Amino acid sequence: MTPPAVPVADRLHRLVRSLMWMVWVLALVGPMIMIAQHSVSERIAFRYAPAIDEAHRASSQMYAAQSDLRLYHRTEDPEVVADFPQRREASLRHLERLRDRAPGEGARELAVRADEAARAWWDDADRTADLVREGRPSDLAAPGAHFTEFTDATSELLSGLEDRRRWLRDVRQAIVAASVLLGLAAMAAVTVYGRRRQRRATESIVAPIQALDQVVARQRAGEEDARADEGRGPTEVRTLAAELNSMLDQTREFEREQVHLTTMQSVTLRAGQRLRETSVVAVAVEAIVRDIAEAVRCDLCVLRYRAPSGEEVTRFHTDPAGPYAALGDDEVVRLLPATPPEPSAHRTVVNPSAMPLGGPRSMMIVPIRLGRERLGSIVVADEKGPHPWRGADTSALELIAGKVARTLFERVAYEAERENVRQLRELDRQKDAFVSTVSHELRTPLTSISGYAEMLAHGAAGELTPEQLRLVEVIDRNTHRLQGIIEDILLLSTIEANDARAAHHEVDMAAVAQDVGENLLPVAGRKDVDLVVVAPHPAPVEGDPAHLERALTNLVANAVKFTPGGGRVRVSVATTDGRVVATVEDSGIGIPAAQVPELFNRFYRASNAETASIPGTGLGLSIVRQIAVEHRGTVRVTSREGEGSTFHLDLPAAGSADAEPADSAEEPGA
Ligand code: ADP
């Protein structure tokens, strides 16, 4: 049985109180002994000593008087009894005082006897003295009898008084000795008692505190189960022990929570990894339910979802040692609520009120949802309940549900995307086939139109009037233009179809630039545009010479076309860092900044070109971009409206590591 708790203050109070009592007792006993000793001394000094003294004095007066009387009787010398009156007076005075001071009844009686005997003696002595003086016969018998009476009484009195005085002195000594002994004994008792109380107080206060200290030390040494004894020591120490224990319990619980949290976090991370790495969602889900069941330590974990195909998929894991170990697919579904417990429950439900009959007693249902759409749920369940589902469980399952939802969504989106791409490819193929067919079909009638127009112009149907000739020339010009467009379209679809790859061999871009410059010099000259080509060093690239010449021709022809008379066009080719960059710079009309990103789209023409009625189809730059891509290069432009444009055709140099095929259009000034 644990001893009752006593506060430290009470213990100390008791200790101090008992010591105080001892001090008080000692403090009272000391004066009492002194008073006793004092009263004995007083009795000796003020009662017995004066009485004995008076008795002695009276006796000495009486003895002297008796001897004087005898001498007078013999000598009859009156001188001898001359001082009799004084002696009588003195002796009687002493006896009277003796009578008054005699302590005790017996002593007083003896004093009265002595006094009466003395008085009788003195009367007889006076009579005898008178007879002697008168010369008459006298004897000393009568006074002698009284004197004997007197001496008997006084000696009896004196021996009694002195006996008593001796006894009192013995008592006084005994008191002194006893008080010394008592004092020593009391000191010893106080010392022993004080030490014992101090030891007990130490044991009852300090030892329990040291025990607490030991618990802390054991905890620090890793002994997790070490707990303080809450039934030991004073109230304060017990309270401290209880608080220490509760703190240790909380710390242990917190540590367990932390460990569990970490476990759940890794389950969550692993779930994400499984979903990412496994192409079949159901396979990942199978592993996820096992991870969850093991981490949460539940009898059953079920994950149900609607696959992108619309099929309902159920995967579950049961604790092999638990009550649901032998559960089959159908039985699992039967154990769970058919629908979420609340039809609108898009939130996690812990231990729903609508539990299936004969099913688990503990359950947590976490919805797998996308916005308001419910795709499925994760259910953890225990046959017995209630299972202490923790916050870490809920948040981990919610995160996993989110990951599953996202994966399902991604799968749906991925399928849709794949279908879109397939359809787009098919459309593209149909378009290419259509464009190619239409272009080919247009070529023959256009050749025929152009041929007949030429024949008309040459007078095959008779001489034409100048007006007729002008009209025929318009027909011929537009036919040629249409033929140009058709050639461009056919070229584009050829490059896009990647047919040209096989023709690649080393081409010197410097030579290409020189050729292009030479070809376009007459056009530039007619427009009064200064065309300069700076390409002093060979700049070899791997590619199709016809396509590369076509690309550069398009860029230089545009520069000349969009540069008014008096302007200048500069073509340069340079090799740096394994790249060959052909740059075409002009001082022409430039391109509005907002339209630069659109420039390489088919049939796109900038607004300022349209406004200035500069002819064109909007196919030239798309061909350049397509050729650049074909050669794993890029084409970039920087331009400022009204000031000019610079195009860079950037290609990997022959023999260098190929760059990523890409194209881009940069903002002015970029
Ligand atoms: P187009 O047949 O119209 O020249 P392109 O595809 O070659 O077709 O060019 C598309 C548009 O880009 C042109 O219509 C023009 O607006 C703009 N452009 C191309 N090169 C230049 C340039 N050097 N200066 C100004 N604008 C240019």
Interval 494-511: pLDDT, tens:
887 765 455 678 999 999
CA distances from residue 559 to 92, 119, 644 in whole angstroms, order as listed: 174, 180, 9
Reply yes or no on whether the pLDDT at 667 is more than 70: no
Reply yes or no on whether the pLDDT at 262 is more than 90: yes
Lowest mean pLDDT among 482-491, 521-530, 577-586: 482-491
pLDDT at residue 664, rounded to an integer: 41
Identify which of 591, 624, 636 to mutate to test ligand 1's pocket (most ligand atoms within 8 A of the CB).
591
Average pLDDT over residues 351-357: 74
Give me the chain's average pLDDT, please. Answer: 88
Reply yes or no on whether the pLDDT at 103 is more than 90: no
Reply yes or no on whether the pLDDT at 286 is more than 90: yes
Residue with more model confidence, 205 or 108: 108
pLDDT band at 352 (very low <50, low <70, confident <90, very high): confident
Phi/psi at 483 (5° precision) = -60, -40
Residue with more model confidence, 622 or 104: 622
pLDDT at residue 527, rounded to an integer: 94
Query: At how many degrees (to 10) do helices 281-296 and 391-457 cross?
Result: 160
Ligand 1 and 558: CB distance under 6 A: yes
Rounded to 10 degrees, what is the CA torsion of 119, 120, 125, 126?
A: 70
- pLDDT, one tens digit per residue, over 357-387 is 778 888 899 999 888 888 899 999 998 878 8
For residue 618, report the distance from its CA to the centre of ligand 1, in Å.
Answer: 7
Token pair 């001489």: residue:
463
Reply yes or no on whether the pLDDT at 659 is more than 70: no
pLDDT band at 270 (very low <50, low <70, confident <90, very high): very high
User: Which residue lies with its CA nearest to atom 25 of ligand 1?
Assistant: 590
Average pLDDT over residues 225-243: 89
Reply yes or no on whether the pLDDT at 129 is more than 60: yes
Query: What percent of the chain shows pLDDT beyond 90?
Result: 52
Token output for 240:
């401290």
Average pLDDT over residues 563-582: 95
Question: Burial of 322 by CB count in 10 Å (0-12 exposed, 13-18 middle, 19+ buried)?
Answer: middle
Ligand 1 and 392: CB distance under 6 A: no
Reply yes or no on whether the pLDDT at 617 is more than 90: no
For residue 147, report the distance from its CA to the centre of ligand 1, in Å.
Answer: 180
For residue 424, report the distance from its CA to the centre of ligand 1, in Å.
Answer: 29
Ligand 1 and 621: CB distance under 6 A: yes
pTM for the model: 0.46
pLDDT at residue 571, rounded to an integer: 97
Burial 325-351 (b: 16+ CB within 10 A, else e): eebeeeebeebbbeebeeeebeebbeb
Reply yes or no on whether the pLDDT at 512 is more than 90: yes
Identify which of 605, 626, 648 to mutate to test ligand 1's pocket (most ligand atoms within 8 A of the CB).
605
DSSP character for 3? Answer: P
Ligand 1 and 644: CB distance under 6 A: no
pLDDT band at 579 (very low <50, low <70, confident <90, very high): very high
Average pLDDT over residues 103-131: 90
The answer to whether 618 and 492 are in contact (CB under 8 A) is no
Average pLDDT over residues 47-57: 91
Average pLDDT over residues 6-18: 82
Q: Taking Cα atoms as reference points, which of 628, 614, 615, 612 lies closest to residue 665?
A: 628
Q: SS3 string of 443-491?
A: HHHHHHHHHHHHHHHCCCCCCCCHHHHHHHHHHHHHHHHHHHHHHHHHH
**349 forms bridges with which residues in the sheet?**
365
Query: At how many degrees (to 10) do helices 105-134 and 49-75 cross?
Result: 20
pLDDT band at 661 (very low <50, low <70, confident <90, very high): very low
Average pLDDT over residues 25-33: 85
pLDDT at residue 345, rounded to an integer: 66
- pLDDT, one tens digit per residue, over 410-469 is 888 888 899 999 999 999 888 888 888 888 888 888 999 999 999 998 988 889 899 999
Residue with more model confidence, 580 or 309: 580
Count of Cβ atoms closer than 10 Å to residue 562 Cβ: 23
Residue with more model confidence, 581 or 444: 581
Reply yes or no on whether the pLDDT at 71 is more than 50: yes
The answer to whether 151 and 108 are in contact (CB under 8 A) is no
Within 13 Å, how many C-alpha atoms sit on residue 588's CB side?
33
| Ligand 1 closest atom vs CA 609 | 16
Ligand 1 and 591: CB distance under 6 A: yes
d(CA 350, CA 250): 24
Residue with more model confidence, 88 or 492: 88
Average pLDDT over residues 81-99: 91
Reply yes or no on whether the pLDDT at 342 is more than 60: no
Ligand 1 and 589: CB distance under 6 A: yes
